[in-house]
Amino acid sequence: MATNLTFVGPAPAAARDDRPRIADDMALLKAAAELTRELSAPNPRIYWADFLASVVIGYAALAGAILVSGFWPALACGLAAVLALYRAESFIHEITHVKHSALPGFRTAWNALIGVPLMVPSFMYEGVHNLHHARTRYGTVEDPEYLPLALMKPWTLPAFILIAALAPIGLIVRYAVLAPLSLLSPKLRKAVVARYSGLVINPVFRRRPPEGEAKALWTRLEIVTSCWALTFVAMAATGVLPLRAVLIILGVASSVAVLNQLRTLVAHLWENEGEAMTVTAQYLDSVNVPPPALLPGLWAPVGLRYHALHHLLPSVPYHNLGIAHRRLAAMLDPASPYFKANYRGLPGLMWKIGLSSVTRGGRGLPR
């Protein structure tokens, strides 16, 4: 899941990678399909319990951060709010993959409790994230969620993280200012839909206007989110929401965005220079951080610690990815490419990507 509306930076380069093309490992693909056939059905009880618990803990902790006295208690509540709301928000990734008929009402509840309040309604990810999984789009200039970060200048990486801190302000501008004004200007409306209506990191990506049922849902969600954004701005401006509360809310939202952007930074190795990739190559360019490490459960929640495996099996719900990983790890030959996408933790991944940007930086810039 990408965080910011768009990452302003160098565009991905055209294909010019002279490395050997990675062929598909048919044994891996066959094992992944055969060992997980019955794991594709989501468990509604797990989804609802996990999501609602995250929502309750997140908003209770946010209220605590606003209401308690003392710096350290407020900080502790704020940290709990960040982690819980980040987990709740991460279910947007599941919404884009799961069949809505298998989880009736879940998307509506997610939008009501998280999407609209945090100004990230589900239409900003639905219809976008699926392009990242398209066989011929991954890692190309048509992938909204890919940049060759490991091949860009070293300063790109800290900029990539820090710019996410401005996401809450950008979302307020998107819904409280641009959305209402775009009703008066078809030209502005076209730009808002194309450039400011997706959680993407590829600055050259332009979104197509929605159609049919997707357009109707988009319209409803945008109206409600814009009304909430205007209400939030009005309450902040008139003092209904005290300045301390506004700053804490924005600080928590900003921290959620930064945490997710940090997770995004290590979700892939970002070494592709624009050419179409085989499924195995896409897998090896992605990252798993399986147990026994515990911290990935916090910074890569809701199955995101198995991001590479998710690219092999995008239809498997998050609560079954651990089972799928254990089955594959037990059955595959130790020399299988499957194990090459498994990493120990965040520090090593950041070092690997950062080192690549230092030694190879600049190759990913446009010619």
Give the pLDDT confidence of 3-34 residue by residue, as tens digits: 545 433 444 444 445 566 899 999 999 999 99
Which pLDDT score is estimated for 19?
60
Which pLDDT score is estimated for 358?
86
Rounded Cα–Cα distance for residues 44 and 109 (Å)? 13
Which pLDDT score is estimated for 18?
56
Which pLDDT score is estimated for 62?
98
For the chain, what percent of residues have pLDDT higher than 70? Answer: 93
Q: Minimum mean pLDDT among 57-66, 71-80, 339-348, 358-367: which range? A: 358-367
Which pLDDT score is estimated for 12?
43
Mean pLDDT score, 291-301: 95
Residue 261 has pLDDT above 70, yes or no: yes
Which pLDDT score is estimated for 213?
94
Which pLDDT score is estimated for 360?
78
Which pLDDT score is estimated for 75?
98
Instruction: Name the residue among 283, 286, 355, 293 with its Cα closest to residue 322.
Output: 293
Q: What is the mean pLDDT of the chain?
A: 93
Give the pLDDT confidence of 96-107 residue by residue, as tens digits: 999 999 999 999
Which pLDDT score is estimated for 260?
97
Which pLDDT score is estimated for 366?
41
Mean pLDDT score, 272-283: 94
* Global model pTM greater than 0.75: yes
Rounded Cα–Cα distance for residues 317 and 88 (Å)? 15
Which pLDDT score is estimated for 367?
29
Residue 275 has pLDDT above 80, yes or no: yes
Give the pLDDT confidence of 314-359 residue by residue, as tens digits: 999 999 999 999 999 999 999 999 999 999 999 999 999 998 888 8
Which pLDDT score is estimated for 13?
44
Which pLDDT score is estimated for 116?
98
Which pLDDT score is estimated for 350?
92
Mean pLDDT score, 161-187: 97
Which pLDDT score is estimated for 365?
44
Query: Is residue 91 a contact partner of residue 318, using CB atoms and an 8 Å limit?
Result: no
Give the pLDDT confidence of 113-152 residue by residue, as tens digits: 999 999 999 999 999 999 999 989 999 999 999 999 999 9
For the chain, what percent of residues have pLDDT higher than 90? Answer: 88
